[in-house]
Structures are given as C-alpha cells and as structure tokens.
Amino acid sequence: MAASSRAQVLDLYRAMLRESKHFSAYNYRTYAVRRIRDAFRENKNVKDPAEIQALVNKAKRDLGIIRRQTSDAQVVLSIYSRIDHHGNSKETSGSITGQQILGASPVTNANAPGPNVLALKGTGLSGLKLG
Amino acid sequence: MLLRTAWRRAAAAVPVAPGSRSEAPTRGLRLRVVDHAPQSAVPSDTATAPPAESVLRPLYMDVQATTPLDPRVLDAMLPYLVNYYGNPHSRTHAYGWESEAAMEHARQQVASLIGADPREIIFTSGATESNNIAIKELESAIQPDTSLVSVMTVNNEIGVKQPIAEIGQICSSRKVYFHTDAAQAVGKIPLDVNDMKIDLMSISGHKIYGPKGVGAIYIRRRPRVRVEALQSGGGQERGMRSGTVPTPLVVGLGAACEVAQQEMEYDHKRISKLADRLTQKIMKSLPDVVMNGDPEHHYPGCINLSFAYVEGESLLMALKDVALSSGSACTSASLEPSYVLRAIGTDEDLAHSSIRFGIGRFTTEEEVDYTVEKCIHHVKRLREMSPLWEMVQDGIDLKSIKWTQH
C-alpha cells in the first residue's frame, strides 16, 4: 500500500467531519467534530511515514465507528430516545429547555429566545470549511 | 400537569427542519422517523434530517452521578448484545470461545489503564460490590496486626484528590493493606497500582463513559492479597466472584478504559480549561461564593460551590434547564447536608447552599456558558428575595444575631 498522501489524509478528514455531523445527539456531535479537528491539527506536523500510517489507520477505524453509530441502524435505535418505559412515544418538549436554547438539536426552534449560538452549527447545513 | 399541557402545545409549534443530509450521498434505504409516530418508518430515497433529539432535555452537568456511553464503547458492545451472545464460560463451542476471548481482551484493557496484570482484575457488578469485597477481605486475614486502609482516590462530591502515592508508601512500609475506591479517578488521572503501592482498587464502568452494572476490582498478586468471595457459586473469576461474567458489559468496560487511556490527556486539558472558565465567570460576577475542597489537590471536572445566603435546593430547582446536583447522588434521598462538607468543616448554612457542577468529556463551552449565565441570574434573584442577604447588605453580622424560638 502506498504511503498516505496529503490528499488522502485530507479526504479522510473531510469524510470524518461530514459523517460526524450526522450524530443526532448534541453532545456526541459536538464532541466528534471538535475531537477530529483537534486531532488532525495536533498531528499535522508528523513526518515519520510509519507514524502517519498508524494514525491514518486509526482514523479509518474511527471513521468506521462514526459511520456505524450514525447509520440507519442507529437511526432506528434513536427511536428509543423518544419512547418512555411504557413504549409510548414522548411528545417533544417545546418548553424552553437548555438544549433547545443552545439550538442543540438539528431540529431547531427558530422562535427560541436566548443565545442560539449553535442553531446553524448543529444542522450540518453550513458548508464544510477546511482549516 | 400544567407543564405537560404547555409542552404539548409548544410541541405542535416546533417545525421539523429540512433535511440536513441533502448533501450526503444516499446510502440506499433510509428511514424517516417522525416525531410522534416512531412506527411509521417510511423508506425514502431522499435524504432526511437525522432524527433529532426531539425530546429536548436539560443540559447534562452531573457527570459525577453517571456518564453517557461513549459512542466508541457502544460500538464495541453491540456485537455482543445482538450476535455474539455466548456464555464466556462455555468451553465446548465457538460461541463460548469468542465470548471468552472478548472478556479476556477487556480484562487486558482494564489492566493496562492502571498498570496492572490482567490476572489481577476481577469483574464485578460495580465499584460498590468491589468495595464490599475489599472490606470483607479484612475479616478473612485475621491477624493481630492486620488492618486495611481504604481511601477514595478522587472524591465524588468536591473533587478532591487524595495523596494516594504517599498513603501507599506508608501502608506498604507498615505492612498494611491499602484499598482505594477509584471510581471517579480511573481514566481521568494517571494511576499506577505499582507506583502507588495499591493493593486493592475498585473500578466503576458508568463513571468513565462505560455501561452501568459493571465494574472491576483490582487485587494485587505480588505480594498476594487474599480476598473472600462475597458471592459463591460456579467458581468463575478465580473463585473470587462467581456468576456468569456479562460479556457485553465487560467489553464495554474494557473499551471505556482503552478510550480513557487514549483520551486522558486531551480530556484533562479541556476539562481544566472549562472548569476555570466556569469558576472564574461565576466568582467574577457573584460575591460570597466559596469553592469547597482544596484547590491545589483537585480534579477539575468536579466543582462544588457554595453560594452564601441561597438555599441549594431552590437554586437547583431554579436551574431547571441544567441537570445538576448538590451533594452526592447516593445520599440524595435524605435532606441532610453532605457529610463530606461537614467533614471539611463547612459551616452548616454554607453546606446547605452547595451545588456540584460536573464537567466531562462531552461538555461543551456553550453548555458551561449557559449554565454560568443561568446560575448568576438565579443566585442574584434568590438573594434579592432573601432577608438574610438584606441584613448582610445592611452590615449586620449574622453570627451576632440571637435567634429566638416563638
């Protein structure tokens, strides 16, 4: 296998960020995006090809985890985030909750007062900018 | 009841966002999950929004009570929950062998995090069971000079770190067993059972982004520490803890330990920054706030603050958008102020005014800022309503007041 080129690493970075935006849970989504950016930034000056390859391999494994955890199967499992222990689906809590004010859910309520800092960030609608 | 009606009315008003996966390549069958009808899984080729957390809940700032599963942990566990369901003690077929292999791999992951040998790790149902095994051990080694020192590594209420290495040194020189409950410390601060001369250590899964219902006890082999089993049965786990080892749970514990080992430095740095941010902002905007616990020997992710002249429970209720705690979850049923705060000499009234802020791997800066803002707002508001606060503002020394009984 040829050593990972800069282009391959960037592709991996883009793919990981893209997939991470599909986490429906606010805390997982923000963690994944933040961690990926910080990890790639931290390792950007690594020169040793063996070390680079090891990092790339780990990143590929993590990309696999992100894909599985945001896949259709997880979409089905996330139904369980909206069912109470009697198996009834729960209504959305429209009252102002902390998560709503942070725009924590991709389903943002544009009418929520207060800081809506993450309203756009959470939706994945903003285009991916490469740092 | 009134709240519930308000929720329902508001729920009708919440629009569903347009598909945010529109730019993602379609991966074949896609399920669209509608908020109120989870059964209607409509296959659709058009990309749809990720099924949002449409049940929005408070921000989670109570990581000392429990932590969410890290997605990497869930990913490791799922195969053993759905497909590889063998009993790890079955010796005669592949289901057993693969389950046993997973169990032993998890054991290695736990051992590696604390510098132990895998043979020194026994899986239990949690740190409480591990604590009981460790304490019971005292009774089984009855000698005139045998005793056991048991100390928490990191306190769950105020985040104080005990000088474990020093204590270990003393115990080892006096030939006294040393046990530590490391539930809040494992994977968060570096621990090495050999450097710190620890003989017994309790580990909890759900404090380190692993599953609930599982933990481990570390039992030193050299020099051998003898323990007596709490539960007897088929002799699993070297006879020290009978019962089928729950493979999916221990796989989760192992994965959580491995992730913690990799992420410890990054998490610690980030959590420290967020903790500083939280305390600085609060202390800058509010007078008469006390941080409980030695600031020097302190794990940053657990911040216990006392807000003078404010009742802790009412502040907690006011901060309804944030999941917080005052005192420890295991004693929260009683109305007594925390025994920990009492032990460090906190005044009775300050002990009733304490709130614990938990910052963890998944906590965001926005969550911290929101929590700080709300906290400042409500403390000010509650103080405005407080006659005690009014007296203090007028310069009256509360300690000089003779409260009489009517």
Interface with B, mutate which of A11, A42, A92, A111 (most B CBs under 10 A) = A92
**Six-digit token pair at B405?**
């009984």
Nearest to B24 among A18, A62, A72 (CB): A18
Residues 6+ apart with CB under 8 A from A122: A26, A29, A103, A104, A105, A106, A108
| A99 has pLDDT over 80 | no
Nearest to A107 among B3, B14, B38 (CB): B14
CA distance B335 to B127: 25
The CA distance from A3 to the nearest CA of chain B, in Å, is 24
| B238 has pLDDT over 60 | yes
The CA distance from B276 to the nearest CA of chain A, in Å, is 19
Co-location of A75 and A115 in the same domain: no
Interface with A, mutate which of B1, B5, B27, B54 (most A CBs under 10 A) = B54
Co-location of A70 and A7 in the same domain: yes
Query: Could B31 and A72 be called an inter-chain contact, meaning their C-beta atoms sit closer than 8 Å?
Result: yes
Query: Could B51 and A97 be called an inter-chain contact, meaning their C-beta atoms sit closer than 8 Å?
Result: no
Co-location of A45 and A64 in the same domain: yes
Q: Do the beta carbons of residue B242 and residue B235 sit within 8 Å?
A: yes
Nearest to B55 among A21, A81, A108 (CB): A81
pLDDT given for residue B44 in this prediction: 41
Query: Could A98 and B266 be called an inter-chain contact, meaning their C-beta atoms sit closer than 8 Å?
Result: no
Closest CA to A39 of A23, A17, A64: A17
Query: Could A92 and B51 be called an inter-chain contact, meaning their C-beta atoms sit closer than 8 Å?
Result: no
Q: What is the pLDDT of residues B347-379, one digit of tens each?
A: 888 888 899 999 999 999 999 999 999 999 999
Is residue B288 within a helix (H) or strand (E), and if so which, with residue range?
none
Co-location of A36 and A65 in the same domain: yes
CA distance B114 to B193: 6
Interface with A, mutate which of B20, B56, B61, B363 (most A CBs under 10 A) = B56
| B41 has pLDDT over 50 | no
The CA distance from B288 to the nearest CA of chain A, in Å, is 26
| Higher pLDDT, residue B60 or A118 | B60
From start to end of B86-176, where are the E strands? 121-124, 148-152
pTM of this prediction?
Answer: 0.81
> Is the confidence metric ipTM above 0.85 for this complex?
no
Nearest to A93 among B41, B51, B56 (CB): B56
Query: Could A92 and B3 be called an inter-chain contact, meaning their C-beta atoms sit closer than 8 Å?
Result: no
- In chain A, residues with a C-beta closer than 8 Å to the C-beta of B11 are 91-94
Residue of B nearest to A25 (CA): B53
Co-location of A92 and A44 in the same domain: no
Residue of A nearest to B11 (CA): A94
| Higher pLDDT, residue B127 or B136 | B127
Residue of B nearest to A22 (CA): B50
The CA distance from A9 to the nearest CA of chain B, in Å, is 19
pLDDT given for residue A131 in this prediction: 32
What does DSSP say about strands B148-152 and B121-124: parallel, antiparallel, or unpaired?
unpaired
Q: What is the pLDDT of residues B379-406, one digit of tens each?
A: 999 999 999 899 999 998 888 888 787 6
| B222 has pLDDT over 50 | yes
Co-location of A67 and A9 in the same domain: yes
**Six-digit token pair at B200?**
């017994």
Closest CA to B96 of B87, B105, B107, B106: B87
| Sheet containing strand B215-219, strands side by side | B121-124, B215-219, B200-204, B177-181, B148-152
Name the percent of chain B lying above pLDDT 70: 82
Residue B140 pLDDT grade (very low, low, confident, very high; cuts 50, 70, 90): low
- In chain B, residues with a C-beta closer than 8 Å to the C-beta of A30 are 362, 364
- In chain B, residues with a C-beta closer than 8 Å to the C-beta of A123 are 17, 20, 49
DSSP string of A14-25, one letter each residue: HHHHHHHTT--S
Closest CA to B340 of B215, B350, B309, B315: B350
Co-location of A77 and A15 in the same domain: yes
CA distance B110 to B204: 11
Query: Could B33 and A75 be called an inter-chain contact, meaning their C-beta atoms sit closer than 8 Å?
Result: yes
Average pLDDT, chain B: 84
Co-location of A71 and A15 in the same domain: yes
Q: What is the pLDDT of residues A40-88, one digit of tens each?
A: 999 999 999 999 999 999 999 999 999 999 988 888 877 777 766 676 7
The CA distance from B179 to the nearest CA of chain A, in Å, is 34
> In the beta sheet, which residues pair with residue B180?
B151, B201
Co-location of A19 and A75 in the same domain: yes
Q: How many structural domains compose chain A?
A: 2
- In chain B, residues with a C-beta closer than 8 Å to the C-beta of A111 are 13
Nearest to B11 among A18, A92, A99 (CB): A92
Catalytic positions of B: 330
Residue of B nearest to A70 (CA): B50
Q: What is the pLDDT of residues B67-99, one digit of tens each?
A: 999 999 999 999 999 899 999 999 999 999 999
pLDDT given for residue B143 in this prediction: 60
Residue of B nearest to A107 (CA): B17
CA distance B12 to B285: 38
Nearest to A97 among B20, B30, B57 (CB): B57
Query: Could B9 and A94 be called an inter-chain contact, meaning their C-beta atoms sit closer than 8 Å?
Result: yes
| B175 has pLDDT over 50 | yes
CA distance A21 to A28: 9
pLDDT given for residue B169 in this prediction: 92
Co-location of A59 and A19 in the same domain: yes
Query: Could B321 and A96 be called an inter-chain contact, meaning their C-beta atoms sit closer than 8 Å?
Result: yes
Co-location of A58 and A91 in the same domain: no
* Mean pLDDT comparison of A75-89, B47-61, B144-158, B213-227, highest-scoring range: B213-227
Co-location of A57 and A75 in the same domain: yes
Average pLDDT (B9-22) is 40
Which residue range is the domain that position A119 belongs to?
Answer: 85-131
